[in-house]
Chain A
Amino acid sequence: MIDPKRLEQIAQYAEGLLGSDGIRDLEAALRNDAELRYTFLEYLNLDAALTASAALPESEGVLPLSTANSRSENAALPRKGIRRSHARYVAAAAVLAMIALGSWIFLSRQSHDANVSSVLVTVLSADDAELEGQSEPLAPGQRLMLAQFRLKKGSLELQIPNDVKLELHGPLAAVFEQPSRLRLAHGELAAEVGERGKGFTVVTDAGEIVDLGTRFGVMARENGSTEVMVFAGEVQVKPSSVKEGQSKWTLTEGDALRIAPNQPPSRLASVSVKEVSAEPTPDGPIVGQVTDNVKAVDFYRFYGVVPGGMTEGASVYTMRSFAKWHPLRGEKFPEELRGADLIQTFHLARQETDLRITVQLNRPAKIYVMLDTRVPVPQWLKKEFIDTGMKLRGGPWDRRPMTRGIPWDADGKIFVTYTVWRREVFQAGPVELGPPQMPGQTTNGAMYGIAVKKL
Chain B
Amino acid sequence: MGELDEGSQILFLQHFTANEAGIRAFVRRLVPLRSDTNDVMQQVAMVLWKKFEQLEVKDDFRKWAFGVARYEALAWSRDKARDRLVLAEDVLVALADESLATEPALSAQRDALDGCLEKLAAEHRRMILDAYSPGVRIQDVASRSQRSVAGFYQWLHRIRLQLLDCVKRNLAVEGVS
Residues on A lying within 8 angstroms of B by beta carbon are: 7-8, 11-20, 23, 26-27, 30-31, 34, 37-38, 40-55, 61-62, 64, 296, 298, 351, 398-399, 401, 404, 408, 412, 444
In the complex, the answer to whether A42 meets B160 with C-beta atoms within 8 Å is no
State the Cβ distance, B63 to closest chain A Cβ, in Å. Answer: 18
Could you list 14 examples of A-B contacts with CB < 8 Å?
A15-B153, A27-B87, A30-B94, A42-B164, A42-B168, A48-B24, A52-B21, A62-B117, A62-B118, A62-B125, A64-B122, A298-B126, A398-B17, A412-B14
- Interface assignment of B147: CB less than 8 Å from any CB of chain A: no
State the Cβ distance, A57 to closest chain B Cβ, in Å. Answer: 12
In the complex, the answer to whether B160 meets A43 with C-beta atoms within 8 Å is yes
In the bound complex, CA of A50 to CA of B110 (Å): 8
In the bound complex, CA of A16 to CA of B98 (Å): 23
In the complex, the answer to whether A20 meets B85 with C-beta atoms within 8 Å is yes
State the Cβ distance, A195 to closest chain B Cβ, in Å. Answer: 16
In the bound complex, CA of A38 to CA of B41 (Å): 23
Most buried by A among B28, B33, B94, B134: B28
In the bound complex, CA of A27 to CA of B89 (Å): 10
Residues of B within 8 A of A45 (CB): 25, 28-29, 106, 109-110
In the complex, the answer to whether B99 meets A41 with C-beta atoms within 8 Å is yes
The closest CB in chain B to the CB of A299 belongs to B122
In the bound complex, CA of A52 to CA of B167 (Å): 16
**Known contacts A48-B28, A296-B122; is A30 also within 8 Å of B95 by CB?**
yes
Instruction: Tell me the dominant secondary structure on chain A's binding face.
Output: helix
What are the nearest 9 A-B pairs in CB distance?
Answer: A54-B132, A48-B25, A48-B28, A49-B110, A64-B122, A11-B157, A44-B29, A45-B106, A54-B129
The closest CB in chain A to the CB of B110 belongs to A49
State the Cβ distance, B65 to closest chain A Cβ, in Å. Answer: 14
**Known contacts A7-B157, A15-B153, A17-B153; is A27 also within 8 Å of B32 by CB?**
no
**Known contacts A18-B85, A41-B106, A53-B113; is A13 also within 8 Å of B32 by CB?**
yes
Residues of B within 8 A of A8 (CB): 157
In the bound complex, CA of A23 to CA of B33 (Å): 13
In the bound complex, CA of A323 to CA of B88 (Å): 46
In the complex, the answer to whether B160 meets A11 with C-beta atoms within 8 Å is yes
The closest CB in chain A to the CB of B121 belongs to A64
- Interface assignment of B163: CB less than 8 Å from any CB of chain A: yes
B residues 47-64 near A (Cβ < 8 Å) are none
Q: Among the listed B10, B86, B98, which residue makes an inter-chain contact with A412, where contact means beta carbons less than 8 Å apart?
A: B10
Q: Among the listed B17, B114, B156, which residue makes an inter-chain contact with A401, where contact means beta carbons less than 8 Å apart?
A: B114
State the Cβ distance, B146 to closest chain A Cβ, in Å. Answer: 14
- Interface assignment of B42: CB less than 8 Å from any CB of chain A: no
In the complex, the answer to whether B32 meets A401 with C-beta atoms within 8 Å is no
In the bound complex, CA of A20 to CA of B87 (Å): 10
